[in-house]
Amino acid sequence: MNKKYWIAFSSIEQIDSLFIKKLYEHFGSIEKAFNSSAKDLENIEGLSFKSAEKFLKLRDKVDIDRVFADVESRGINFLTLEDEKYPQMLRNIDNPPAVLYYKGKLFECNLNKTLAVVGSRNASTNARNNLRKIISGFINTDICIVSGLASGIDTVAHTAAIENNLKTIGVIASGFDFVYPSQNKTLYQNIENGYGAILTEYYPTFEPLRFRFPQRNRIVSGLSYGTLVAEASLKSGALITANLTLEQNRELMCMPGEISNPNTEGIYKLLKSGASIVTESSDVLNALCWEVKKEEEQIQLTLPTLTPDEEKIYDNIKVEEKGVDELLSLTGLKLDNLLMNLTTMELKGIIKQCNGDRYKTV
């Protein structure tokens, strides 16, 4: 049974997918590769003596049947480079995962319309809101949003996908024994339970160590036809993913933001280098030459009838949020009247409060 040898390889923490792939391609059989001798490994071009020696030493400690049973007992599905169902876009990158572990409904996701979304963990309110707006433009379509299930932009991307009836794939930087960050536990569960799939190349017991996050990024971009960078500083994981996107010959897109925000310095560097600019969902469709069909027509929401005072307030915040003091000056309303109208408009679902005493349209 070949599958257990793939899992056995994957369970050795000190070797990587490139090593496994090199041995598999040389021997043409994953079983032969796993059971190879020191003399066999000497004949593999480009394989260092040190890495071969390390593999042989660690291999002898692996209980093949036990590690395979451990994966099955956890209810984890997996694909290997031998499987026909292995995602083709991912197979085409230079260093595809030898084993792809997953939970959820991977094959209910349209792997032919995958969009990666990456960005800052400390994303600005502006970036979060703009990303929600762009993803909402894909409502009820077969586009699949791919991201890394980290805090910040990743969380917004997955959540917005679910809210707009889209499938989403989360790629994690650990084995399935860990949920990182812990506050995303409910999001993990929602994705697993029908909204998409969670993937990882790591054996279940592997921890979310720092070096694994950049490695994870090649899978996020590798699964996707294009990557949308929502916010990125000059030294960030999002910029690493952007560069991987270009190396993988995929489409790179950026969402502009406040030029005074340090987290947009990477964005404007990428835009100056030729990345496509995205300010609305149609920009993504045009960049990727996608046509989408909605499962059902999106209901166009119309504003309820506004009173003259409510119209004054709405007109002043429909472009950008305003504080109470600003609205007093701009509308000419008295404080009691203004506060009463703000409360009424909130109850109607027209506006919402944000950042203390500031208000914005919904």
pLDDT tens digit at each of 362 positions of the chain: 689 999 999 999 999 999 999 999 999 999 999 999 999 998 898 898 999 999 999 999 999 999 999 999 999 999 999 999 999 999 999 999 999 999 999 999 999 999 999 999 999 999 999 999 999 999 999 999 999 999 999 999 999 999 999 999 999 999 999 999 999 999 999 999 989 999 999 999 999 999 999 999 999 999 999 999 999 988 888 999 999 999 999 999 999 999 889 989 999 999 999 999 999 999 999 999 998 866 544 444 566 788 989 999 998 888 778 899 889 989 999 998 898 888 888 887 888 888 677 888 87
Predicted local distance difference test score (pLDDT) of residue 320 = 79
- 120 with 238: CB under 8 angstroms? yes
Say which CATH number the domain at 154 has: 3.40.50.450
Q: Which of 73, 92, 122 is the last residue of a domain?
A: 73
The owner of tokens 């916010």 is 231
**What is the maximum span of the chain, computed from C-alpha positions, in angstroms?**
88
By three-state DSSP, how is residue 218 classified? helix
Q: Same domain, yes or no, for 273 and 149?
A: yes
The answer to whether residue 315 sits within a structural domain is: yes
Q: How many structural domains is the chain composed of?
A: 3
Output the domain CATH number for residue 314.
1.10.10.10
> Radius of gyration (Cα) for the chain, nearest Å?
24
Within-domain flag for 28: yes
pLDDT in tens, 55-83: 999 999 999 999 999 999 999 999 999 99
What are the residues whose beta carbons fall under 8 Å from the beta carbon of 59, sequence distance 6 or more? 8, 12, 34
Residue that has been written with the tokens 């469709």 in this structure: 285
On the question of a cis peptide bond just before residue 181, with omega within 30 degrees of 0, the verdict is yes
Contact of 263 with 147, CB cutoff 8 Å: no
- Residues 277, 177: one domain? yes
Residues 153 and 276 in one domain: yes
Provide the 3-class DSSP secondary structure of residue 323: strand
Place of tokens 């991912």: 90
Question: Domain of 60: which CATH number?
Answer: 1.10.150
Q: Who contacts 92 (Cβ-Cβ below 8 Å, separation ≥6)? A: 222, 248
Which residue range is the domain that position 15 belongs to?
3-73
pTM of the model: 0.81
The C-alpha atoms of residue 134 and residue 281 are separated, in whole angstroms, by 5
Same-domain pairing of 147 and 240? yes
Residues 108 and 191 in one domain: yes
Q: Looking at the structure, do residues 198 and 161 belong to the same domain, yes or no? A: yes
β pairing state of 196-200 and 99-104: antiparallel
The SS3 call for residue 151 is: coil
Q: Are residues 59 and 113 in the same domain?
A: no
The whole-angstrom separation of Cα 150 and Cα 32 is 38
> Whole-angstrom Cα distance, residue 317 to residue 324?
11
The pLDDT value given to residue 15: 95
Nearest to 64 by CA among 6, 2, 8, 9: 8
Tokens at 256, concatenated: 């502009």
Together in a domain, 10 and 44:
yes
Judge if 112 and 59 occupy the same domain: no
Length of the chain: 362
